[in-house]
Amino acid sequence: MPAYATNMRLKFPILALILEIITIILYAVFVTYDDGKGHGHDANSNHTSNPVELYPMFQDVHVMIFIGFGFLMTFLKKYGFSSVGINLLLAAFGLQWGLLMQGVWHMDHGKIKVDVFKMINADFSTATVLISFGAVLGKTSPVQLLIMTILEITIFSINEHLVANILSANDVGASMIIHAFGAYFGLAVARVLYRPGLRNGHENDGSVYHSDLFAMIGTVFLWMFWPSFNSAIAEPGFVQLTAVINTYLSLAACVLSAYAISSLVEHKGKLDMVHIQNATLAGGVAVGTCADMNIQPFGAMLIGVVAGIISTLGFKYLSVS
């Protein structure tokens, strides 16, 4: 497509560079390092004496965003390489923009003071974009995707602020609701769009086999690190431990029910990769809104089991196949 190419050649680089330059100017005016002397509204970030204490959890979330989401979409074989590459582009810009959009609500003497807590939230804000990206993969240009990134993260940050701070809703839970529905809806759409295509395009099984293994890299990293995702911004101490345990058990229980229902509804009792991915996501998402609450371990597991059943049935009977 020479027309598209010429377009791209001019529009994409100009847009990308302009956005980056605007972002840098805004950073020059508004953003500085956290120096530990802040009295911001952001209570959680001041709980710890060591400013990099949350760093390992940040890196877990980082792996989910860049490896997890990046490779999850490689099962869309045709767009496999671009899924990892464009995922990197959108998330790299998204986190810069997200830090800014989320930070304006928590300024300290007119400055956004960056710390690991804010970096985790910035990664979170990109998740919504990456999910939407999954739904439109292969149908949009990088230019459209960059514009989508700006819009979606801006709206997400305003929403998050309204729900959490104006309506005084539970902070972790509220932002999780947003994540959860965003993520889940997006992935559902992606799968609905993807499955008919997969069924028709099975001419090269070896290749599909390898693409599935690449997708499993994303899936398993998401599954493993979801406890970090749900607990990273929880109150430090036993509340954070509770969020870890609830997510860990919900995810484990969800695997059993998702595999069970998958094997029940599939033609030959065979396990389908898409159900493993349901298991991955449903348990973590479903428990996300109450991960830091005292729902007891068995409560978290019940949530996981139900999420695994509903999501697998949903994908079976709501998707076009």
Residues 190-219 that bind a second copy (CB under 8 A): 204, 206-207, 209-210, 212-214, 216-217
User: Per CB under 8 A, does 301 bind a second copy?
Assistant: yes
User: Per CB under 8 A, does 273 bind a second copy?
Assistant: yes
User: Per CB under 8 A, does 80 bind a second copy?
Assistant: yes
Q: Which of 39, 139, 202, 268 binds a second copy (CB under 8 A)?
A: 268
Site for a second copy in 241-260 (CB under 8 A): 241-242, 244-245, 248-249, 251-253, 255-257, 259-260
Nearer to a second copy, 156 or 225 (CB): 225
Site for a second copy in 92-151 (CB under 8 A): 92-93, 95-96, 114-116, 119, 142
From 88-96, 160-168, 175-183, 193-201, give the range in contact with a second copy by CB under 8 A.
Answer: 88-96
SS (H, E, C) the chain: CHHHHHHHHHHHHHHHHHHHHHHHHHHHHHEEECCCCCCCCCHHHHCCCCCCCCHHHHHHHHHHHHHHHHHHHHHCHHHHHHHHHHHHHHHHHHHHHHHHHHHHHHCECCEEEECHHHHHHHHHHHHHHHHHHHHHCCCCCHHHHHHHHHHHHHHHHHHHHHHHHHCCCCHHHHHHHHHHHHHHHHHHHHHHHHHHHHHHCCCCHHHHHHHHHHHHHHHHHHHHHHHHHHHCCCCCCHHHHHHHHHHHHHHHHHHHHHHHHHHHHCCCCCCCHHHHHHHHHHHHHHHHCCCCCCCCHHHHHHHHHHHHHHHHHHHHHHCCC
From 129-137, 183-191, 284-292, 297-305, give the range in contact with a second copy by CB under 8 A.
Answer: 297-305
Q: Compute the least distance from the CB of residue 48 to a second copy, in Å.
A: 9
Q: Which of 9, 41, 109, 199 binds a second copy (CB under 8 A)?
A: 9
Q: Which of 38, 44, 46, 63 binds a second copy (CB under 8 A)?
A: 63
Q: Compute the least distance from the CB of residue 194 to a second copy, in Å.
A: 17
